[in-house]
Amino acid sequence: MPLLNEPFPVQIDRFEQDKKVVVIAATNRKQDLDPALISRFDSIIPFGLPDHQNRKEIAAQYAKHLTETELDELATVTEEMSGRDIRDVCQQAERSWASKLIRGKVPKDGDQTRLPPLQDYIGSAMNRRKGFLSSPPRQTQNSASDIKKARVVLD
């Protein structure tokens, strides 16, 4: 029977105990995982959200035309966002800007017309933040249960 036809926790239980099998999983939304799945992992290694400097560096990868000051401001408004969230914020701002360009809604200012201004990135971040308000809060600290579960088994 192919493994893909079974729920993942069942697949994990079927691994042969005498074989050395390592399963590595990652998620930004642990709260959405089935506790039965989480309980099958021997180790949980939490990675927090990026700090201000890391958010600035992530934004700089996608919005290369922004100044240091603008990147600082973007890093501030993307607090509590993951690297993927920041990437999505930048990509959404750029898609929106491209749409405005195509429809002729952008004033012609030479090279500045080709790239979105900081305000478009901030608007995209604010829209993304509104989505956060309707979902469960993100965990930025380790809970007591996470610390208890975070045991390393070395064979």
Q: Identify the pLDDT of residue 38.
A: 87
- Verify that 38 and 96 share a domain, yes or no: no
- Verify that 84 and 144 share a domain, yes or no: no
* Residue 41 near residue 92, CB atoms below 8 Å: no
In a domain, 87, yes or no: yes
- Verify that 99 and 64 share a domain, yes or no: yes
Q: Identify the pLDDT of residue 142.
A: 43
Q: What is the mean pLDDT of the chain?
A: 80
Mean pLDDT, residues 70-75 taken together:
98
Can you give the residue range of the structural domain that contains 42?
A: 3-46+139-149
Which residue would you say has higher pLDDT here, 7 or 112? 7
Q: Is the pLDDT of residue 24 over 70?
A: yes
Long-range contacts of range 27-33, CB-CB < 8 Å, 24 or more positions apart?
28/82, 28/84, 30/139, 31/136, 31/139
CA angle 39, 45, 49 (to 5 degrees): 120
